[in-house]
Chain A
């Protein structure tokens, strides 16, 4: 017997909410010290939002050193929480009903998108999640991993220079870290809209929902 949302999934999800928020906000505070991309004298003009004076309410930590301390302290919680989640996902085999598996989910994801766009009249069948949900949640996990790796490269550009090389060096990692943040913010915004539309399912994320027969 398994709940739609097992305890570990709920716990790690709700720890993520404030952690990710403060990571993003302290990150924007850090970025504000130098809101440009590319090495000195060789700027990456193609990166959007350069020179962005992000508003107060989107920032945390007050100043550069304060924000760095917050960011580097909470990063550990974020990573430990993510590891607990990922290990659970594998051990419990929850990944089978949560992660995007292209042969199974590609066509249903498209059908679901067509349904949302009102091109298709009937909703495609689903179990716990539909294909589009799986693609979104899987992308969010991938983005989270990318954020951690690019963050590590920025933290230790010398010691981790092999990993940095894959990301275009220190300045490449900064771009990835920032664009990854924008993509994650897009995911969170979409997620909140979907939660608002399907608000009846929201309590499941707190209670876990009714136990169902193991499939």
Chain B
């Protein structure tokens, strides 16, 4: 192998190692895992964050994966399952009877914008206690929005600021923002806040490289704020 070949091979290696089209592999994949560790360390320092000025609700961007606005199927219930002692299927009324938490949180989208709203709902930690969730590392969130889903590390999911939210800005959650119930917490980027929930599963294993709709396409899994 002469010097030119060696340089070419090195260049090719560099490209595959840092291929931003496939950011989950090579050096970029290694660095994502490294960053995940750094974020977990930082997580331990997190305090509760109070949001500031409310954004006008009409200016709060509306995203969903389906081609049309997803509407809850008749007889909708939220399944709480996985590694739990008492699996449950909750109606909206049953959820609303649990103790309510109100939070004002600044939303951070991966695209770079921020918006602030009041959210009303039940702490996921409260629901976890109710169903007797056994220790496991992950929580998986499924929706009726065209297969949209995501997964969180357990510590972030059980943080007091992580809600199963049924209300926004003092009124019931609108279909645009994930009715009847969505996940909402201040500790993750927007694409982790799954709307149109159907299932919450406490699980032992999630492939962190592909654990969600956007995550499987290349976005970071941890995505902590």
Contact = CB atoms under 8 A, between A and B. Distances in A.
A183 B43 CA distance: 32
Contacts of B220: 65, 68-69, 72
A157 B225 contact: yes
A76 B31 contact: yes
Interface in B191-225: 214, 217-220, 224-225
Nearest to B34: A76
B23 A66 contact: yes
Contact of B55 (A41, A68, A70, A72): A41
Contacts of A174: 112
A174 B111 CA distance: 12
B108 A34 contact: no
A169 B50 CA distance: 12
Interface stretch (A56-64, A110-118, A192-200): A56-64
B55 A39 contact: yes
Interface string A147-186: 0000000001111110000000111001000000000000
B103 to A, nearest CB: 12
A156 B219 CA distance: 16
A212 B59 CA distance: 64
Contacts of A70: 18, 20, 23, 28
A81 B95 CA distance: 52
Contacts of A189: none
A158 B186 contact: yes
A136 B39 CA distance: 35
The 6 closest A-B pairs by CB, nearest first: A66-B20, A41-B59, A73-B31, A69-B23, A34-B112, A65-B218
Interface of B: 18, 20-21, 23, 27-28, 31-32, 34-35, 39, 42-43, 45-47, 49, 52-53, 55-56, 58-61, 106, 108-116, 186-187, 214, 217-220, 224-225
17 contacts: A30-B112, A34-B111, A40-B55, A61-B20, A62-B20, A65-B214, A65-B217, A65-B218, A65-B219, A66-B20, A68-B23, A68-B219, A69-B23, A69-B28, A156-B224, A158-B186, A159-B42
